[in-house]
Structure 1
Amino acid sequence: MSQIPSPPNEKQTTLAPGQGGAASQHTLRNISLIIGREYTTRVRQRSFVISTIIMLIIVALGTCVPTIIAFFNQGSNDQKTLTVANNAGSIAGMENTTLQKTLSDLLNGDASHYKLKLEQGNSQQLEQQVKAGKLSVLVVIDRGADQKLHFKYYTSNTDSIDPDQSAVQAMAQQIAILDRANQLHLTPQQTQDLFAPVTLDVVKTQQDARSGTDLAIGMITAFIGVILIFVTVFMYGIQVANGVAEEKGNRIIEILVNATTPFQLMVGKVIGIGAVGLTQMAALTVTGILFLLLQHPLQNALGIGQTGITIALAGVSIPLLLLVFVFFILGFLLYATLFAAVGALVSRQEEVSSAATPLTWLFMIGYIVSLYGATTASAIWFKILSFIPFFTPTVMLVRVGTMSAAPWEIGLSILLMIAGIFVCAWVAARIYRLGILMYGQRPNMKEIIRMIRSK
């Protein structure tokens, strides 16, 4: 239907709603009808179906990332041949067999990524083989006039990041120390004592302290949840405001208030659009949990050993995903009531964006602050913000992800959000009651306060 714009200099006029006696007698019935209309209309939209499918694919692929990485890394587990050309003669007093084993141990550590091949002399010929692509990695060891070992590293790798170089550098550093120790006439036992690892006893003072992997997975899940909450709450909140403004601009609202009360209209629209968002979030949450639980069977089917990161995902992310779901519901109800009031204050749908700017900035503050949660989650100011209902959905979620929130703090923040929802709904209902039938110039702050105080 075409919109009927108000004249630019038109004074405010308010159409008085009817008594609404009959409508008030069927509150639940009217609200349920409005909810059903809002829900069915929006879930049948092509844009909703397409966007939901795209997000489901993203969530499914995101949960499968560890398995995908492990699958493609299977081929990279094959040993890479690393050739060492020894032009230095005796190194650390070792024979060739002992030297080759020592170099291999220093290069691989507890793993077995490299197969080391020791060559005596012929370094120039080996260098040509690297240039021709017949050898991938070559290390040439020489001894200078100062009797120190000198190393040259040849590689056919053209990538900007070369993992082989760091491994070779560590091996060269350690074998040089062994050679220097031999020149100082240290016994093998004394040399072994130099390389003896130190003992570090880790004492965790917090009972719920978890591993670094758990913390990393929790943070990643929390930040993804924050982004989802920010996008979905803002998107559906704007839909509430646009829906109210559209009906008001088309004068449909004047017909609706004859059959229902303004309160029924607001509640029905908020819950109806919220149910649409809830459906989408439920689909995303269930998909995320389902694919997390499928990782172990999937890895077994592909012949991949279950990785620690997958175990952490299954153990940490599922409770966090459920909390994302809870904070989405609470965050939407809190902001959607205020967005409904914003929609009631404007005369045309085009005015919604500018009228909702203060509310948008309020929500964005919590989002921006939450992005700093990785380093500030334990700060006092961050904890205080997590209990303010307008910021709780994003800030508290980051605290949970970084494991800096106690269970009682999570419960308290949820209770405060519920209380905040009732307060915002009461304020929004008073604004909505008068605003939906007010046309012309947008009311200023004094007039809005007068609406809230009116009985």
Structure 2
Amino acid sequence: MHSFWIIFKQAFMMKARTKSFIITTIIVAAAFFLLANLPNIIESFGDDEEGQVLHVIDESGELVPQLQAQLEQSQSDIQAMPTEMSEEELQQGITEGTIESYLVIEEGDTLSARYVSESANEMGAGSDVENAVQAIQTAQTAERLGLSGTEVGELFMPAEFEREAVSDSSKTEEELSQARGLVYVLILLIYVAVIYYPNMIAMEVANEKSSRVMEILISSVSPVKHMFAKIAGIGTLGIVQMMIFGIAGYFAFKTSGSDMAEGFFSVMGFSEIKVSTFLFAVLFFLLGYFLYAVLAALLGSLVSRTEDVQQLMLPMMFLIIISSFIAFSGIGMPEANYVTVSSFIPFFAPLVMFLRVGMLDIPLWEPLLSIAIMLLTIGVLGWFGARVYRGGVLMYGSSQSLKDIGKAIRLGNKK
């Protein structure tokens, strides 16, 4: 057991001290703080003056005050002002940078307006102006039809519309909206974890073989103990890194001092997270990691060069990608038959069953059955992977096919 912990510590510390791991952790943690403070950063680069001036060509001379009133009502910082300049002069001003935008507005049976700015990508100001013009059009139409303000309000009053589901497993629309964001984030987290860390294991095993370090290691410790110590060490490292990301993200949004933080936690469902959902997320994260980690160690033991790792890892990557497609498509329809069936397939269950747990009120036996199937699969794959690993670490030369699994088993039996 002492040798197990030595390899465990070596796998953990070696990867934790690498520049790539440290830089990746710092960059991702910094990205959370950047995202949380993005509104403040954008505002700091904004114009500190009174606001954007909108030059308005209004031949009637009566629409600019109405336009300004509508802009103020919508709390826009745009200042509408009439201009005597021609369109040619205004366009030249935009080209030279002295004018940001202008509006040509004409009154007839209906209002017609043309908003001109330097770039068509200027969505914010253009939308504010469009909404203000539409409000003026609505007011003029109501006045022409003899409608009062109360009658106009009643005309645009939304209908009361509620959604009810017959299925016992369905949640309310409000609960689904809260769960959807949370499930999306956690599925993405699990998806990244089962790609990144098992791939790290395969690369580590292949690197030890290519440098002939493996020959020294297996002379003092069994290949099976080496495999599981490697899996446990890098898995612990992954948990630590994910905890760092989670803590950094939490404090980044909590200390940002902007309305974005409260909105983010509310929309994503983190403000009302259930303990059971969090526990299932951790459980499926661990089960998904160990399932794919054993498979990655198996594949990594077959190659002698790190360049060959990615080719043999393709089947595993396809499984993860298919699982993610099912999970992300199932966010919109978690009760679909293909989602239910795939949630009991062990290689899809870490993502898909967690999706169903987060989005639906399913019976407890369903996730427990899925967990049992995954544990059984991990046990069988661990037994089979140990046999392959025992012989695979002794194989050298070009290994670019899954057919080498049989050769590794035969070699392991002779050992």
Check conservation: 1:285, 1:322, Cα contact below 8 A. Answer: no
Q: What is aligned with 1:334?
A: 291
Matched, 1:385 2:348: no
Distance 2:222 2:241 in 1: 29
2:121 counterpart letter in structure 1:
S
After superposition, the C-alpha distances for 1:120-174 in whole angstroms (9 at most, x for unaligned) are xxx644868855446844453333xxxx244333544534233344444444445
Aligned pairs (5 A) from 1:22-421: 28-62=1-35, 64=36, 67-69=37-39, 72-73=42-43, 87-88=59-60, 100=65, 111-113=74-76, 124-125=84-85, 130-131=90-91, 132=93, 133=98, 136-143=101-108, 148-180=109-141, 182-183=143-144, 186=146, 188=148, 192=152, 195-203=155-163, 205=165, 206-207=170-171, 209-210=173-174, 214=178, 217-218=181-182, 220-222=184-186, 224-242=188-206, 245-246=209-210, 251-256=215-220, 260-292=221-253, 294-295=254-255, 298-299=256-257, 307-313=262-268, 314-315=270-271, 325-346=282-303, 351-399=308-356, 403-404=359-360, 406=362, 408=364, 409-421=366-378
Q: Which has the higher contact order (CA 8 A, sep 6+)?
A: 1
Distance 2:370 2:202 in 1: 25
1:434/1:89 CA distance change after superposition, 3 Å: closer
1:361/1:450 CA distance change after superposition, 3 Å: farther
Q: Which segment drifts farther, 422-431 or 43-52?
A: 43-52
After superposition, the C-alpha distances for 1:89-121 in whole angstroms (9 at most, x for unaligned) are 889xxxxxxx956x5665566x321577686xx
Measure how far apart 1:176 and its partner are. 3.8
Aligned pairs (5 A) from 1:423-438: 423-437=380-394
Distance 1:281 1:241 in 2: 23
Distance 1:306 1:360 in 2: 34
Distance 1:170 1:250 in 2: 69
After superposition, the C-alpha distances for 1:264-300 in whole angstroms (9 at most, x for unaligned) are 22222222232233332232233233434x34xx41x
1:445/1:193 CA distance change after superposition, 3 Å: closer
Larger Rg computed on CA atoms:
1
TM-score, normalised with respect to structure 2:
0.73
Measure how far apart 1:242 and its partner are. 1.8
- SS of 1:233 mapped into structure 2: helix
Superposition RMSD in Å: 4.5
Pairs aligned (count): 398
After superposition, the C-alpha distances for 1:292-328 in whole angstroms (9 at most, x for unaligned) are 4x34xx41xx7x6864234445426797777655433
Distance 1:76 1:383 in 2: 53
Distance 1:112 1:36 in 2: 59
TM-score, normalised with respect to structure 1:
0.68
1:130/1:357 CA distance change after superposition, 3 Å: closer
Check conservation: 1:137, 1:155, Cα contact below 8 A. Answer: yes
1:159/1:70 CA distance change after superposition, 3 Å: farther
Q: Percent identity?
A: 24
Distance 2:279 2:86 in 1: 59
1:165/1:216 CA distance change after superposition, 3 Å: farther
Structure 1 runs not aligned, ≥5 long? 1-27, 92-98
Check conservation: 2:12, 2:236, Cα contact below 8 A. Answer: yes
- SS of 1:387 mapped into structure 2: coil
Measure how far apart 1:381 and its partner are. 0.9
Measure how far apart 1:371 and its partner are. 4.4
